[in-house]
Chain A
Amino acid sequence: MTLLPTHREGPSRAGVRELADEELMGLVREGEMAAFEVIYDRHSRVAFSLAYRICGTRSSAEDVVQEAFLALWRSGARYDRTRGSVRTWVLGIVHNRAIDALRRNVVHDRRRASDDGIAERLEAPERTDAEVAQRDEAREIRVALQALPEEQSRVIELAYYGGFTHTEIAEMLNAPVGTIKGRMRLGLEKLRGALEGSGMVTAR
């Protein structure tokens, strides 16, 4: 499939907005700014929200999002569509970098920095249909997470949002490492099961 028969001119701005993420990544690899812009607009909100949840400060969250999207721009070639959606890929980069930033910032007790509470003030109104759909999706996922036994959701949250290793979590909760890993697995299995019906998680 040739996306860009005359790619020096580039596709029109409106046309680009119609393309799927995977097609846009092909253009990003060619250095097409308009395609990059659309990718940014589609995913920056959830990227920023995740980075903020992990880093706890607006400035680190901004740095993480900037680094992640520029990494995507500079190395779009690394994206492999057989391994998942563009959104999952971008959020994977954001997650790694946010955890790195968290660990680098030597806030060992991981107390939230002074601008805590900004979340409420920044909370986004949904403007587009896509954003409304995202909000509903988020609600469904939160319900599924809350439905997990507390000991399972706790270890998942500490690991994924808190950046703690299984050994650290075992120490914090005073439980054997094997137990912690087991809870992680059970929790993820249940989450998968709960969301499979809604098509958010693909059955394998």
Chain B
Amino acid sequence: MSGHPEHTARSDDAAAYVLGALDGAEAAEFGAHVRSCPICAAEVARLSSAVAVLPLAVTQLSAPTSLRRRVLKEAASDARDGQRTRMRALRSWPRFAQAGLSGAFALAAGILIGALLLAAGRGPSTVIRATVASAAAWHATAEPVAELERYGNRGQLIVTRLPAAPAGKVYELWIERDGVAHATNVLFEPTSSGAAAVDVPGDLNGASAVLVTAERVGGAKVPTMAPLIDAPLAA
């Protein structure tokens, strides 16, 4: 079978991939291959169904009731904070987060700015929730969130609660086309509260994703790691 040109060398990678046994760079590379190779995509789907039963084979334990209380309490306090509204405020004006203003004030500001943007006729936008690799949460106390706001062929990546890049590194933005990450030469650091709003340079038409990795200061020509943030774009 001659499907994808690169396919031949790959037949056994799917099993290692679904078991999480490829290392970061290999996994990212194979993941990109899968998106463009129907043979490997089918193999991954097939083998994933076997991996899905593995958690059920372990000795079943009772989850502690104290854990249940903790999880529900934490979730409820999120809800009270009006998480989503606050994020909208950060998205519109990330500097509010930097200035450490109170949630209530930032919220009011968010509504105001939302209204201004609407009045300015910025046009319809779609917000794409990005996947944030758990590796990006190395010392975060809360789950980092990343969203790509897209207006036509332009976009802005908004992150909150993203920890500072590891020592000697910065975040670098990439645009993925045809499974290949292209450098944008945009490097960024979040504010001390973890917020950043980064304009994606150039045209998003035909791109498949906006990605972020952590690279050495000065940036890299090609990503040296699996994406920490992956915002998929509809084809």
Interface residue ranges, A against B (CB under 8 Å): 31, 33, 36-37, 40-41, 44-50, 52-53, 58, 62, 65-67, 69-71, 73-75, 77-78, 84, 88, 91, 94-97, 99-100, 104, 119, 122-125, 131, 134-135, 137-138, 141-142, 145, 156, 159-161, 163-167, 169, 178, 180-182, 184-185, 187-189, 191-192, 195, 200-202, 204
Smallest distance from the beta carbon of A185 to chain B beta carbons, Å? 4
Query: Contacts A77-B129, A181-B15 known; A50 to B145 CB distance under 8 Å?
Result: no
Report B-chain residues with C-beta under 8 Å of the C-beta of A182. Answer: 12
Q: Which of A135, A161, A192 is close to B46, meaning CB atoms less than 8 Å apart?
A: A192
Indicate whether B16 reaches chain A with its CB closer than 8 angstroms: yes
Is A195 within 8 A of B50, CB to CB?
A: yes
Q: Which residue of A lies closest to B76 (CB)?
A: A33
Using a CB-CB cutoff of 8 Å, which residues 94-149 of chain B contact chain A? 129, 131, 134-135, 138, 143, 145
Report B-chain residues with C-beta under 8 Å of the C-beta of A66. Answer: 67, 70-71, 74
Smallest distance from the beta carbon of A125 to chain B beta carbons, Å? 8
Query: Contacts A66-B70, A104-B138 known; A184 to B52 CB distance under 8 Å?
Result: no
Q: Which residue of A lies closest to B74 (CB)?
A: A70
Q: Can you give 6 contacting A-B residue pairs, CB < 8 Å?
A: A73-B75, A73-B78, A104-B138, A125-B62, A135-B60, A180-B16
Report B-chain residues with C-beta under 8 Å of the C-beta of A99. Answer: 20
Report A-chain residues with C-beta under 8 Å of the C-beta of B71. Answer: 40, 44, 65-66, 69-70
Is B138 within 8 A of A188, CB to CB?
A: no
Report A-chain residues with C-beta under 8 Å of the C-beta of B61. Answer: 45, 48-49, 52, 119, 122-124
Indicate whether B217 reaches chain A with its CB closer than 8 angstroms: no
Smallest distance from the beta carbon of B45 to chain A beta carbons, Å? 6
Indicate whether B225 reaches chain A with its CB closer than 8 angstroms: no
Q: Which residue of B lies closest to A137 (CB)?
A: B56
Is A50 within 8 A of B23, CB to CB?
A: no
Is A134 within 8 A of B72, CB to CB?
A: no
Query: Contacts A66-B71, A165-B23 known; A156 to B54 CB distance under 8 Å?
Result: yes
Smallest distance from the beta carbon of A28 to chain B beta carbons, Å? 10
Report B-chain residues with C-beta under 8 Å of the C-beta of A178. Answer: 12
Q: Which residue of A lies closest to B24 (CB)?
A: A165
Is A119 within 8 A of B46, CB to CB?
A: no
The interface bits of chain B over 51-71 (1 if a CB of A lies within 8 angstroms of the residue's CB, else 0) are 111111111111110011011
* Range for the number of chain B residues in contact with chain A: 35 or more
Secondary structure at the A interface, as helix, strand, loop or mixed, is: helix
List of 5 A-B pairs having minimum Cβ-Cβ separation, nearest first:
A185-B15, A48-B63, A181-B12, A159-B21, A184-B15
A169 to B16, CA, bound (A): 11
Is A160 within 8 A of B19, CB to CB?
A: yes
Is A96 within 8 A of B67, CB to CB?
A: no
Is A181 within 8 A of B16, CB to CB?
A: yes
A35 to B55, CA, bound (A): 23
A97 to B19, CA, bound (A): 14
A71 to B61, CA, bound (A): 22
Smallest distance from the beta carbon of A96 to chain B beta carbons, Å? 6
Besides A73-B75, A201-B49, 4 new A-B residue pairs in contact (Cβ under 8 A), listed by A number: A37-B72, A48-B62, A123-B62, A188-B15
Indicate whether B209 reaches chain A with its CB closer than 8 angstroms: no
Is A188 within 8 A of B18, CB to CB?
A: yes
Q: Which of B21, B23, B62 is close to A184, meaning CB atoms less than 8 Å apart?
A: B21
A55 to B83, CA, bound (A): 30
Report B-chain residues with C-beta under 8 Å of the C-beta of A188. Answer: 15, 18-19, 47, 50-51
Smallest distance from the beta carbon of B147 to chain A beta carbons, Å? 10
Report A-chain residues with C-beta under 8 Å of the C-beta of B56. Answer: 46, 134, 137-138, 141
Smallest distance from the beta carbon of B48 to chain A beta carbons, Å? 8
Kindly name the residue among A122, A131, A134, A166 whose own CB sees the greatest number of chain B CB atoms within 10 A: A166
Q: Which residue of B lies closest to A88 (CB)?
A: B52
The interface bits of chain B over 170-185 (1 if a CB of A lies within 8 angstroms of the residue's CB, else 0) are 0000000000000000
Is B22 within 8 A of A165, CB to CB?
A: yes
Query: Contacts A100-B134, A167-B23 known; A134 to B50 CB distance under 8 Å?
Result: no
Q: Which of A49, A50, A166, A192 is close to B50, meaning CB atoms less than 8 Å apart?
A: A192
